[in-house]
Structure 1
């Protein structure tokens, strides 16, 4: 629901009711997780999706029933051990969904959607069963209405984690501000990384001392363009402006800029620090950083040369490789082809990742 804010708010402001279908539970494999939502308007528009397309038609029927009478409905799509349902997931999993009406006068939902659109932290809860099914409450209202689940709600809100609480009676939908990607440099590789990073959901900051390069025309997808030396900009950031999801990528190709920037980034509480460069450049940078007093533990955090080994050479291909490495590092993933691994495809916990072991040990080809 929250991810659809840009599409839902104009319709709600125009007085148009909308039916939402939200995934409340996933068993085995499914394309999208709990919290994924799609919307259906009274005019028949479909916004978003809850799967790879295999259950959307049934979800639309469910949504139209809700629009007709305003009564929330739960359903299960897919296959369970006990029974097969009309709508099946090609991946063999099962999803439970809740269809409910979003009214234009619902101020709690409107406020949450406004916060999501503004990229603020937000959490709301939806009752998934019982006489309250379909009711939407914010943290304060739920605390007053159901004090026994307040602690669970608060924990989900703090972690910005979408999850069921109260034994599945409520689903907390939480959304954190977008992860930050700070790019030092404004060359062609930076432009490509900005485009790919924004498409991957990052709030991208471009930082370069040259205003002729760091322009809105060259970086239309950037959330922020800063005309400054990267090291000085990083030094101005408050501790709470970055976190473990923040990535800093140095693409300046200028030793006078990139070494101070890396020195500053490696001293910050960010989850990823990377830099482009040839291997000889990487070795030179490491020595220069050692001379500045950076210890080996912090140097080990530096991802350089930046990117996974995908074989591409163009700025766009290099950007894909860089984003792939950032995501793999954030999730503790291997970066290996999925076909060479076993276990969950969408690993969500350290235990899941630990289970993603090679399905078949690699065997050297015989001569």
Structure 2
């Protein structure tokens, strides 16, 4: 392609040229970058000399302000920015964070605006090209918020690193989005009914899982990672230090999630009953569980990521019980504690979360409060031996 012939105008660094029969304008501006290297910034296709001059003024202002990065990344696309962001952030990410970011960006963002220059992306563009179509597809508000958070993280990274001269996007309008299924706490009488049904009709591994989640508020990944070495019957504590998902064993979700959970009599009773069955199973299948995970299936294998959800789905369908997931049991635990006036900070310490997450407040928690709160479950949830 022949190079366009540029003709100087009376304004320094502004040129005009012919595009067909049209007269167009451009700027070509030379400057030194932060390393003292000579560079040139140029842009064409302005319809008037005033447009070219205004754009040049913006470039000069950014350079005078020391914002060379913004100037040098003027043509950076969303896809390119995302690659830079991942490279910078991945050293601090857990596998699930990396997986979620890459899945969201590939499936919902880059296929829509990946080729857009980051300087041209606005809230309106996000609304029209990403969120409005996804709302029509029926994605829930929670999913859409997750998508926006990923986009926002990438663009905030660009702003903080001076690839953008200002924040470009705000929260989209999601008022027409479908509301997701709200995770509700299950009433105490509902918990008693569920435990009774599973205890009398299903397997001891299923019953133990449900009991442990109800009595501790643990996340399902934390329960799957629990090993017998983490169970201190003498000291009456569970040491929750890891989680396990499809990527294997790893650190808990947050630093707060590593905790020593007081073992009440209900937890102890359930685990002792279960261990009789477990020890018998391991005599035949111990080679399948060399790590000593507590929860195994009837073939002696450590349970998979969706083990309990499949059982719950089956129980809900067969027994005509209102739908719930393992995470509902965590909500139930928190609800029971708070409704019985256990301090929010104590509840947060027990479930391995922050007080802000539980209820936007913070104070110190004491181990005696945690023990009393754990023992409270003995008074509320009535347990019978699995063999009864």
TM-score range, shorter chain: under 0.3
* Higher relative strand content: 1
TM-score, normalization: structure 1? 0.23
Pick 1 or 2: higher relative contact order, CA cutoff 8 A, min separation 6: 2
Larger proportion of helix? 2
- Asked which structure has the greater CA Rg, the reply is 2
